[in-house]
Amino acid sequence: MEEGQGQDDRNEQYEEEMTKIYTEEEKEQINSLLELCFRDGIMPAGLDVGVAEVTDEIARFDLNEEFSNQNVEWLIKHAVTVQFLNDAAVLSNSLKKKLVRIYENAWYDSGLLDEGITRGRYQSEGKNLCSFVSSQTSVIEWMLHKESDVIVLEGKEYRVAFLPWMTFLEMREFKDTTPKIFWVRCPRVPLQLMSTLQNAIEKTFGAAVKNYPTEQDDEEPELGSVRFDLKIQAKERVRPRLVVGIPNQGDYYFKVLSASTPWCEQCKTFYHKETDECCPVKAEAEFDPFAPEGEKPTPPKPPFSGFVPLGETPPVAGFRRFPRRGEKKNRWRNQSGREERGNQGQRFKDNNSEGSTSGNRKGNGGGGHRLRRIKEKSKTTTSRDLRKGKSYEEEGTEEEDGMEGTSLMEEQAAGVLAKGRIQGQKRGEVSSSQGKRWIPVGQGDRAYNDLHRDQGGGMMGMAGVIPTLGQEDANIPKIFVPIILANSTHGILVMANLLANGAMELPTAYAEEALTESVIMSKVKKLVPACLSLRLISTLRVGVDTTQDCLGNRVRMYYVFLDDRMTNTIKKHLETLDKGWFPLSILSSPLNDGLDSILFKGYFSARTIAKWLFHSAHRKVLFSESFVDTLLLPWEEGTGGSEGIRRRKKGETDIEDESRIHDTHGPGVANAS
């Protein structure tokens, strides 16, 4: 009973202290103390302005309501909130303080303020707000009456606005409701509509506050994705597609990415989030391999983008810069049931009878869709066409009857993936192309070593035989494939370009000259954004592989491994340039899912790289635990130079060999940017 009575007494005392009312004399005394506090920095002490409470975990002090109101009233009269607009919002805090002090300097110079009066108190309130306290109410009244002003500092104009002083709650509500920028981005802008795009954006969505450079490299302009910052009001008007009508030609469909477009942090791609069931990374982690095929969720496809001639209906999804013509060609079927055209059938039949190729066999099981695609190509397609460097965008996609809206890349991926599944179900069989069995991730190198030893082969890590080039291969296409690696919390990642349909594409170039270090870095500089700093991984020499393209022609691959100096700023910038990442571990086995959605040169996939790596000495280095330590080695700052190459320091016994990348001091790296 006594304990309950004591609690009631404490509650009454708390209520009395919290609702205490000050007399006019006490209010004047509080105002004088507040002026000393904010003007001279002398904090009031010994005042009965609240109730204190100390518990085991925290100490709490509740302000008296009357004192809190008195404090707010004084600040409203003697303080102002300054808002920095446009370019002024991104200034440093010291420059913002200079902008506010300019007014004080003018008042002191004009004699409006006595030199004995202490300067006002400045406090930053975030990115574009600050509070300014002055002991002279006339100063605050003048600023509020002014409302806004333009200040010239170091020859540049900055706009500011003066608002009544705000409490914590008012400032939070102001920041939540303050208009922000709403960005939109249009990938793959064609040259014909470069001069039209901004007008189309502003007329349909709203005025552009800022537009970003259309080129990734000022020295070598190449139109790509274009970004615009719009006012926040444009959010309700932005649509996922923008159609521009071209007189007497047709319509061009732009895919419009915006701040509202879903973005997946795991896949580094648009149109879904990492929490969605359709996320490939999430689905891969949760997918039951014994579940019926078809139950595996797939992410939504991006809307169609590309040109549609007059009178034609646009596809639902995919990218098609130049569509095929509508007429159909005569077809016939051979004994195997495959569609042929003209004497192309005999040509492909002869090619298939010559024996299987490394990674591009179109025999039994899988690859049927791709083969039908190949047979629609012109007879004049030769290895010279490969050297022209046609990209996926330049070749476009061609719709097959009954498969409208399906791109060539999607059919290629589906065909190779089907072949991989069949091989996965028959893992006991020996591959017809290599005489060895593919080992999926999970069985490890031991299973491969046992199989390789039983067949009389060498130990794991020995490189496979590289076919030499004869005189008849003088014109063989030589493709340079830089594999750019970056270390992250999710493991080692490989950089690639994001395509419109959610797939990825590795940067490539043709290599007709010797791949010395300077040549490699010169080629890479033209393939990647200028913000990247790269260095050659000299423990990994240039990987060489001779394979065949989709027409059976021999192609020479040169794989070069580079380390990327990644920061959060560079990462965010790359996301605006349609750059994405996939894990290096996906290349550890040709049976891994997702390889066919990573392309290069339009008709090769990452499965080609995985097949080469499986029998290459590079495998031991790339997938070892110590490889991460190689990427973590410190970067050596060089002399810079016009080419931006940072070279590693050479020892006294180093012999300069421009014919290959090597290192005489163990796991070193050659720096370059």
Domain 13-178 CATH class label: alpha beta
Write down the pLDDT at residue 385: 42
**pLDDT the model gives residue 415:** 53
47-99 confidence digits (pLDDT tens)? 777 788 888 888 988 888 888 888 888 888 889 999 888 777 778 888 888 88
- The whole-number pLDDT of residue 286 equals 60
Mean pLDDT of 149-160: 82
pLDDT bracket for residue 294 (50, 70, 90): low
pLDDT band at 470 (very low <50, low <70, confident <90, very high): low
Label each residue of 483-523 as H, E or C: EEEEEECCEEEEEEEECCCCCEECCCEECCCCCCHHHHHHH
- 3-class secondary structure per residue, 411-431: HHHHHHHHHHHHHHHCCCCCC
State the pLDDT confidence band at 339, using cuts at 50, 70 and 90. Answer: very low
DSSP secondary structure code for residue 447 in this structure: H
Indicate whether 360 pLDDT > 60: no
Query: What's residue 251's pLDDT?
Result: 92
pTM: 0.33
* Encoded tokens for 613: 């790596």
Q: For residue 364, what is the DSSP state?
A: S
What crossing angle do the helices spanning 137-146 and 93-110 adopt, rounded to 10°? 110
Long-range contacts of 621-629 (CB under 8 A, 24+ apart): 621/539, 621/540, 622/540, 622/561, 622/584, 622/587, 623/584, 623/585, 623/588, 626/667, 627/492, 628/487, 628/492, 629/667
> How far apart, in whole angstroms, are the C-alpha atoms of residue 584 and residue 613?
12
Q: What is the pLDDT of residue 346?
A: 41
Percentage of the residues of the chain whose pLDDT score is greater than 70: 63
Amino acid of residue 567: T
- The pLDDT value recorded for residue 231 is 82
Rounded mean pLDDT of 627-651?
56
Residue 620 confidence (pLDDT) above 80: yes
C-alpha to C-alpha distance for 102 and 94, rounded to whole angstroms = 13
Residue 621 has pLDDT above 80, yes or no: yes
Which residue in this structure is represented by tokens 């059976």? 552
User: 36-53 pLDDT, tens per residue?
Assistant: 887 777 787 777 777 888
CA distance 561 to 584: 12
Residue 357 has pLDDT above 50, yes or no: no
User: Bigger pLDDT: 38 or 208?
Assistant: 208
Nearest to 301 by CA among 597, 647, 624, 13: 597
Give the pLDDT band (50/70/90) at residue 631. confident
Query: Within 10 Å of residue 583's Cβ, how many Cβ atoms?
Result: 16
Distance of alpha carbon 214 from alpha carbon 197, whole angstroms: 11
Asked if 450 and 436 count as a contact pair (C-beta separation under 8 A), the reply is: no
pLDDT digits (tens, 9 = 90+) for 211-248: 877 665 556 666 678 889 888 778 888 999 999 999 99
Question: How far is residue 507's CA from residue 600's CA, in Å, rounded to a whole number?
Answer: 7
> Tens digit of pLDDT for each residue in 374-395?
444 443 443 444 333 333 333 3
Low-confidence winner among 214-218, 249-253, 311-315, 590-594 (lowest mean pLDDT): 214-218
Query: For position 256, what pLDDT does the model report?
Result: 92
Three-class SS of residue 558?
strand
pLDDT at residue 151 in the model: 81
Q: Does 367 score more than 70 pLDDT?
A: no
Q: What is the chain's alpha carbon radius of gyration, rounded to the nearest angstrom?
A: 34
- d(CA 318, CA 564) in angstroms, rounded, equals 31
Burial of 256 (0-12, 13-18, 19+ CB in 10 A): buried
> How many alpha carbons fall within 13 Å on the CB side of residue 623?
21
The answer to whether the CB of 101 falls within 8 A of the CB of 132 is no
Q: In the predicted model, is pLDDT for residue 329 greater than 80?
A: no
**pLDDT exceeds 50 at position 265:** yes
- Cβ neighbours around 139 below 10 Å, total: 21
Residue 309 confidence (pLDDT) above 70: yes
* C-alpha dist (Å) from residue 329 to 312, 323, 336, 567: 18, 16, 20, 53
The residue-averaged pLDDT of 15-37 equals 77
Q: Which helix (H) or strand (E) holds 73?
A: helix 65-78
Residue 473 has pLDDT above 90, yes or no: no
Which helix H or strand E contains 132, and what residues bound it? Answer: strand 129-133
Tell me how far apart the alpha carbons of residues 595 and 333 are, in angstroms, rounded to a whole number: 31
> CA of 258: how far to CAs of 51, 452, 466, in Å?
51, 52, 47
User: What does pLDDT average to over the chain?
Assistant: 71
Which residues touch 231 (CB under 8 Å, ≥6 apart)? 179, 181, 182, 206, 207, 209
pLDDT digits (tens, 9 = 90+) for 546-586: 888 877 788 889 999 999 888 888 888 888 888 888 999 99
Strand partners, 258: 184
- Identify which of 225, 259, 222, 214 has the alpha carbon closest to the alpha carbon of residue 240: 259
Q: Which residues contact 493 (CB under 8 A, 6 or more apart)?
A: 485, 486, 487, 581, 582, 583, 584
